[in-house]
Amino acid sequence: MEIIIWILSGAAALALLLFAAAALCGLTDIHFHRRVKPGDGRKRLACAGDSITNGAVLPGCFFRCHTALLQRMLGKGWHAENYGLNDRDAQSTGDKPYSAEREYRKSLAFLPDAVVLLLGTNDTKEVNWRGGEHFKAEYEKLLSAYTSLESRPRVILCTPPWARSAATRLERLTNDCRTEYLPVIADIVRNTGKEQGLTVIDLYEAFYERPDLLCHDGLHPSAKGAKEIARLVKEKLDT
């Protein structure tokens, strides 16, 4: 009996260790949101998006994703929160709509002063792609939830970063997007920002043929890529 208990406890410890490792590499949707202190005078920044925002595949994602870097760059005058979720889509018709998630609702309830919206990569998947016009309508519907908030946040749109197609089965575990549709979505995000008078950060252009800014799967930002996103966002927030 003692041997069985020892084996079970060992298996539980191993499972916990593997889960912790997955969480630290952004392979889960775990977030540790800090309590908002009313009247503390800090501006609120909501980073909403998919696994690129979440920090997937990046070891130590809680400290090295672009939201965490932004918090350190912006200093005590800001309160930045990460609302990124792996595999989520901008389209409500996608297999995993961001708008159906609790983190999305939390990002709205946060009543941010600024929002960084980075979605679209997962919408390129074969199961989700319904053409540019459909994506644009769905993207604008999601965007309107932020632009109509009573806190009247400054909304910064980010195009999906450039990515390369997965070359191996291992890479396909975390990179199953259709890269030929990424420039289509990037154009839609740029045009939407222009039409609505919103700030746009062109991550597709910034990452174009820059594999050094990507992790091993060719899709998710590396530590260097996360720093570049944070730098570009801060640059916009400072203007």
pLDDT in tens, 196-236: 999 999 999 999 999 999 999 999 999 999 999 999 999 99
Two structure tokens written together for 156: 């910064």
- CA angle 22-27-29, nearest 5°? 110
pTM: 0.90
Say whether 49 sits in a helix, a strand or coil. strand
End-to-end CA distance of the chain: 67
* pLDDT tens figures, 149-191: 999 999 999 999 999 999 898 899 999 999 999 999 999 999 9
Question: CA-to-CA distance for 174 and 34, rounded, in angstroms?
Answer: 28
Residues with Cβ < 8 Å from 82, sequence gap 6 or more? 31, 47, 53, 54, 55, 65, 67, 68
Two structure tokens written together for 81: 């929160």
Give the pLDDT band (50/70/90) at residue 39.
Answer: confident
Specify the CATH architecture of the domain 31-237.
3-Layer(aba) Sandwich (3.40)
Is pLDDT at 18 greater than 50 in this prediction?
no
Two structure tokens written together for 12: 């539980």
Please state the domain extents for the chain. 31-237
Give the pLDDT band (50/70/90) at residue 239.
Answer: confident
Two structure tokens written together for 83: 């609302």
